[in-house]
Amino acid sequence: MPLSAQKPAKAATIQEIRARKNQTPIVALTAYTTPISRLLDPHVDVLLVGDSLGMVIYGMETTLGVTLEMMCAHGKAVVRGAVSSCVVVDMPFGSYQESQELAYRNAARILAETGCAAVKLEGGQEMAATIAFLTARGIPVMGHVGLLPQSFNSQGGFRTQGRTAEAATRILADARAVADAGAFSIVVEGVVETLAAEITNAVVVPTIGIGASAACDGQILVTEDLLGLFSDFTPKFVKRYAELGSEVSVAVGAYAKEVRARSFPASEHCFGAAPQAKRTEETTESDDVV
Ligand SMILES: Nc1nc(=O)c2c([nH]1)NC[C@@H]1CN(c3ccc(C(=O)N[C@@H](CCC(=O)O)C(=O)O)cc3)CN21
Ligand SMILES: CC(C)C(=O)C(=O)O
Ligand SMILES: [Mg+2]
């Protein structure tokens, strides 16, 4: 295959994202499937295959039940639809916390199976050594501090973080540790604006906020949230740019009504019977002309 027929190399994209510190904001969104990946790709810098897929497309109540197999399957689908954006895949709960070696094995599997550019993992100072281990061995890592959905049980639910001075100091130290360990960017989730600004000023890599104010170097949202396709909950930080859930409901309601009234399918949706005159002895049921 000639080089020109191949997708543009994504390897440089990590450097491009890293270089966006204090530049124009990084635009990021989640994607879990090829068609959504294709639709979003021209508009965004980063496509995150988030473990939020457990809640958004598998109906789980938290992200704790998401598996490596699910992340690999959806990661592969998103990479297929992405041309110019940098695809990052979340490491699921239990796939990286136990040891640096296990984290490396699972991150390498995600990169090898999906063709994504980087992985993301949740955690601050306690994950810094793991981030250093991966980045030193060729696996780009996006960090994630503040509200950590995989720490649902220890953070007391999906709660805004860093409200006390002590907590804010710890999260700032988390972000510093993750940046020092070699992460190329950091998701900052669910923290008050002053803390998001402090973190963004303190680290040399871009911060990508979700529920973390405009003080960050970029923004990310769950795509289904902004499209109005997910309504189990709507956090305060979500802005709905469309109401596709309502549109789906209207369209499907119209289809159901027409099927019941036998007005769908109409003649233009039907394969006409072959004209009698053209039928020959050798025509069989199976090769009937449509
Ligand atoms: N669809 C979806 N969107 C998300 O943003 C998202 C997921 N799923 N799944 C994984 C995590 C969970 N997230 C969440 C979920 C709920 C709130 C929430 O209800 N927050 C309250 C504030 C709670 C508090 O601080 O006490 C809010 O009103 O925003 C926040 C983040 C973010 N992530
Ligand atoms: C919301 C983003 C940051 C995420 O981690 C996810 O979608 O899983
Ligand atoms: Mg996630």
Q: Which residues participate in catalysis according to the annotation? A: 189
Q: Which residues line ligand 1 (CB under 6 A)?
A: 52, 55-56, 63, 149, 158-160, 190, 222, 224-225, 230, 233, 235-237
Relative to the alpha carbon of 63, which ligand is closest? 1
Q: Is 120 helix (H, G, I), strand (E, B) or coil?
A: strand
Query: Which atom of ligand 1 is nearest to 238's Cα?
Result: 5
Q: Residue of the nearest CA to atom 5 in ligand 1?
A: 222
CATH T-level topology, domain 10-245: TIM Barrel (3.20.20)
pLDDT tens track of the chain, all 290 residues?
444 444 454 434 899 999 999 999 999 999 999 999 999 999 999 999 999 999 999 999 999 999 999 999 999 999 999 999 999 999 999 999 999 999 999 999 999 999 999 999 999 999 999 999 999 999 999 999 999 999 999 999 999 999 999 999 999 999 999 999 999 999 999 999 999 999 999 999 999 999 999 999 999 999 999 999 999 989 999 999 999 999 999 999 999 999 999 999 999 999 987 666 555 554 455 544 44
Relative to the alpha carbon of 155, which ligand is closest? 1
Query: Which atom of ligand 2 is nearest to 208's Cα?
Result: 3
Query: Which atom of ligand 2 is nearest to 52's Cα?
Result: 8
Q: Residue of the nearest CA to atom 9 in ligand 1?
A: 52
Which residue is it, tokens 């036998």?
A: 262
* Per-residue confidence (pLDDT) for residue 10, from 0 to 100: 43
- For residues 21, 24, 25, 26, the Cα torsion angle rounded to the nearest 10 degrees is -70
* Per-residue confidence (pLDDT) for residue 11, from 0 to 100: 38
Q: Are 91 and 60 in contact (CB under 8 A)?
A: no
pLDDT for 134-167, tens place per residue?
999 999 999 999 999 999 999 999 999 999 999 9
Produce one character per residue of 259-273: b if its CB has 16 or more CB atoms within 10 Å, e if not.
eeeeeeeeeeeeeee
Q: Are 12 and 32 in contact (CB under 8 A)?
A: no
Q: Are 174 and 196 in contact (CB under 8 A)?
A: no
Q: Is 187 helix (H, G, I), strand (E, B) or coil?
A: strand
Pairing of strands 86-90, 218-221: unpaired
**Measured between alpha carbons, how far is 173 from 231 in angstroms, rounded to an integer?**
34
How many degrees, rounded to 5, is the angle at CA 55 between CA 51 and CA 61? 120
Which residue is it, tokens 């007005």?
A: 263
**Measured between alpha carbons, how far is 130 from 181 in angstroms, rounded to an integer?**
8
Mark the binding-site residues, compressed into ranges.
Answer: 51-52, 90, 120, 122
**Measured between alpha carbons, how far is 285 from 54 in angstroms, rounded to an integer?**
46
* Per-residue confidence (pLDDT) for residue 278, from 0 to 100: 52
DSSP 201-213: HH-SSPEEEESS-
Q: How far, in Å, is the centroid of ligand 3 from the Cα of 51?
A: 4
Q: How far, in Å, is the centroid of ligand 3 from the Cα of 145?
A: 11
Burial label for 38, CB within 10 Å (0-12, 13-18, 19+), is: middle
**Measured between alpha carbons, how far is 100 from 207 in angstroms, rounded to an integer?**
24
Q: Residue of the nearest CA to atom 6 in ligand 2?
A: 50
* Per-residue confidence (pLDDT) for residue 280, from 0 to 100: 53
Q: Are 10 and 46 in contact (CB under 8 A)?
A: no
Q: How far, in Å, is the centroid of ligand 2 from the Cα of 86?
A: 15
* Per-residue confidence (pLDDT) for residue 277, from 0 to 100: 56
The structure tokens listed for 28 are 């990021």
Mutate to test the pocket of ligand 2, among 90, 150, 238 (most ligand atoms within 8 A of CB): 90
Q: Residue of the nearest CA to atom 15 in ligand 1?
A: 158
**Measured between alpha carbons, how far is 52 from 30 in angstroms, rounded to an integer?**
9
What ipTM score was computed for the predicted complex, to two decimals? 0.97
Relative to the alpha carbon of 233, which ligand is closest? 1
pLDDT for 248-272, tens place per residue?
999 999 999 999 999 999 999 999 8
Q: How far, in Å, is the centroid of ligand 1 from the Cα of 15?
A: 30
Q: Is 146 helix (H, G, I), strand (E, B) or coil?
A: strand
Q: How far, in Å, is the centroid of ligand 1 from the Cα of 149?
A: 8
* Per-residue confidence (pLDDT) for residue 3, from 0 to 100: 44
Q: How far apart are the first and last CA of the chain?
A: 37
Query: Which atom of ligand 1 is nearest to 63's Cα?
Result: 10
**Measured between alpha carbons, how far is 287 from 24 in angstroms, rounded to an integer?**
59
